[in-house]
Amino acid sequence: MPETSLQNNYPWWRRVGWFWAVFFVLAALTVFAVLVAAFYAEENWRGKQAWEHCQHEFEAKGTSINWNDYIPPAVPDDQNFFKAPKMTAWFVKNQSVLSNELTAKLQSKDTTTTNLDEAFAVKYLAWSDQFAPDFDLIRSAAQRPYARMDGDYSIPYQIPIPNFVAVRIVAQTLAQRAKCQLRLGQPAKAMADLTLLHDLRHLLEAAPTGRPMTLVAAMINVAITGLYANTLADGLRAHAWQEPQLVELQKQLADINLNLYVCHALQTEPVGVCRDFELQSWSLDKFFSFGRKPNCRDKLYGWLWPQGWTYQNMVNVVNLETIPLAGFDLVHDTIAPHQFDTMSRANEAFYNHMSPYKLLAALAVPNFIKAEQTTAFNQTLVNQAQIVCALERYRLAQGHYPETLDTLVPQFIQKMPHDLIGGEPLVYRRTNDGKFLLYSIGWNETDDDGKPGTLADVKTGDWVWQ
């Protein structure tokens, strides 16, 4: 057999020699390493440039996306709600005292009932009167103008947050007490508890700065406001409030601006998320694990993930989470539902074409549409309640409701709230049975002639004062 034929049966490294084989392998590995290094350098540079460009764009619009600008300043202790006795223990999350004090006692009573009769009202008030000293402490603390919790605000995911469960339980108790007092013909006492429920909202709003206002806190505030307005409305429907209470309720209602604080949250939330991404770029396995304990694959993803991809996701987070702000007009105090619907469709299109630049953003950016609808609905309820207080005052004075809302100004109301949807006047007419119809055109931005719609189905119907 020819020698060349025998040589062809040898492996390539035997034919070229060990030296050259090692050389070629090392050269290939070096080229691969250089390409990988170049890839990471390129992606990191591009990501950093994109984030800096994004920051400059927002600064040009007068908006900061630097987390340090959202840290609330220190406030005097004697003006701080959370420095009043027991307020931190009761209303700041992870305070162990809370679990065995106020809310534990409040939760011990089943307050669910379909028939709020006098017997239930008497029993409930007798039971809840034991908390009168605690409510007085909260009432006194609520007079302080600031609500700033102690803690480390430099890291967003470590900032102190209110104990939302405690706030909800106290709010529900106060609302139930007010309903019972109205049922027993005690409007002055009901007014005291309803006022405390109104003032309790300020600790969620991080008064007076609204910083840092998380979206969760903003939506709990929206929910508590809805509870307040509905309790107030029960008294209006029963004609239980008298002139002094109606005047004070109008002042409280005029003080409520849910749009403002939801906008605060929509500005703060993405900045905090981006800062968290930046600080945790070395441990992104937590994000890839979707809440479970990270496994080896999650850790591998986190280790291989270029820092530049994190910056690209940060750009998408701030762009996506600030889009809803276009639907709010704080100057004219209006909401444009079609803007939110357009934003929702844009988000869906964004997620339909996934890439590494969108992966973290997809995990971090929630669906805002329901939050915005709830905000608009509850603020509309507040605006309507303010008008109905004026209508009730007119009825008490004249014995009937007016033909038009203009009759109420300025004796019974200084400024008439308009429809939050679109900015036109709320629709009002007196009915043949001596009552009235008052409604907003609702989320569909269409006047359905007073056909009631609901928050559960916003496509049809108006938001009618029941």
CA angle (35 as vertex; 31, 39 as ends), nearest 5: 170
Q: Can you read off the two tokens belonging to residue 136?
A: 């007085």
Do the domain assignments include residue 16?
yes
Measured in degrees and rounded to the nearest 5, phi and psi for residue 433 equal: -85, 10
187 touches 45 (CB < 8 A): no
Cα separation, 144 vs 87, in Å, equals 12
388 touches 399 (CB < 8 A): no
Closest by alpha carbon to 249, among 411, 452, 412, 451?
A: 412
Do the domain assignments include residue 108?
no
Which range of residues forms the domain containing residue 42?
3-60
Do the domain assignments include residue 23?
yes
* Backbone region of residue 328 per phi and psi (left: phi > 0; alpha: psi in -120 to 50; beta: other values): beta
Q: Which residues of the chain have pLDDT under 50?
A: 1, 6, 96-100
Sequence-ordered strand ranges (E) for 160-240: none
Cα separation, 234 vs 182, in Å, equals 9
**What's the burial of 449, exposed, middle or buried (CB within 10 Å: 0-12/13-18/19+)?**
exposed
pLDDT at residue 289, as a whole number: 52
pLDDT at residue 301, as a whole number: 64
Sequence-ordered strand ranges (E) for 253-386: 328-329, 334-335
CA angle (425 as vertex; 420, 428 as ends), nearest 5: 115
Cα separation, 327 vs 339, in Å, equals 5
Start-to-end CA span in the chain (Å): 104
**What's the burial of 12, exposed, middle or buried (CB within 10 Å: 0-12/13-18/19+)?**
exposed
What distance separates the 2 farthest-apart alpha carbons in the chain? 124
Cα separation, 25 vs 9, in Å, equals 21
Do the domain assignments include residue 241?
no
182 touches 174 (CB < 8 A): no
Domain count of the fold of the chain: 1
Cα separation, 305 vs 43, in Å, equals 10
Do the domain assignments include residue 441?
no
Please give the helix or strand (H or E) that residue 126 lies within, else none: helix 118-128
Do the domain assignments include residue 38?
yes
Do the domain assignments include residue 463?
no
- 3-state secondary structure (DSSP) of residue 101: coil
* 164-212 confidence digits (pLDDT tens): 999 999 999 999 999 999 999 999 999 999 999 999 998 899 888 887 8
- 3-state secondary structure (DSSP) of residue 102: helix
Do the domain assignments include residue 48?
yes
Strands 436-440 and 463-464: antiparallel
